Amino acid sequence: MDEITIRPAAFADLQHILRHRRTMFRDMGSGTEAELDAMVVTAEAFLRQAMPAGTYRGWLAETKDGRIAAGAGVTIVPWPGAPRDPAPRRGWVQNVYTEPEFRRRGLARRLMEVLVEWCRAEGFHTVSLHASREGRGLYESMGFRVTNEMRLEL
């Protein structure tokens, strides 16, 4: 196996992050090509603001020859606090994606460990995510649990 290192994502990695986001949703069967294209436009506008502002932090798994094998990120959202979590912000994990030829090598776990440790060091009390069917086992093994979140699509 190639030596793969985990590094923080930089603004110069924006197109990798966008491609991972689009491909992640496509692989899950979510959205038409037109819907995915529209989502990328919105995501790019968001990341162009959030990355320099520090409200989106990402990490990439990179091979020795500079190929991006996988990535993960966290969006930091304002939060009004809760009885067991009075912090004014929460971390929302997004864009966890591994290129098909690099799957089953533990890269998503390594990325998530780095991401969670960063959140812990930054004083977050809660980190949330939406799990794909394929990712659920990883997240559960790391201590994530199903909550009572509900959604109404308008």
Q: Please tell me the predicted confidence (pLDDT) of residue 1.
A: 46
- Walk along the chain (154 residues) and give the pLDDT tens digit of each residue: 469 999 999 999 999 999 999 999 999 999 999 999 999 999 999 999 999 999 999 999 999 999 999 999 999 999 998 898 898 999 999 999 999 999 999 999 999 999 999 999 999 998 999 988 888 999 999 999 988 888 778 8
Residue 89, SS3? strand
Q: Please tell me the predicted confidence (pLDDT) of residue 147.
A: 86
In sequence order, what E strands does 15-148 have?
56-63, 68-78, 89-98, 127-128
Q: Please tell me the predicted confidence (pLDDT) of residue 120.
A: 95
Q: Tell me the domains of the chain and their CATH numbers.
A: 4-141 (3.40.630.30)
Q: Note the pTM of the prediction, 2 decimals.
A: 0.92
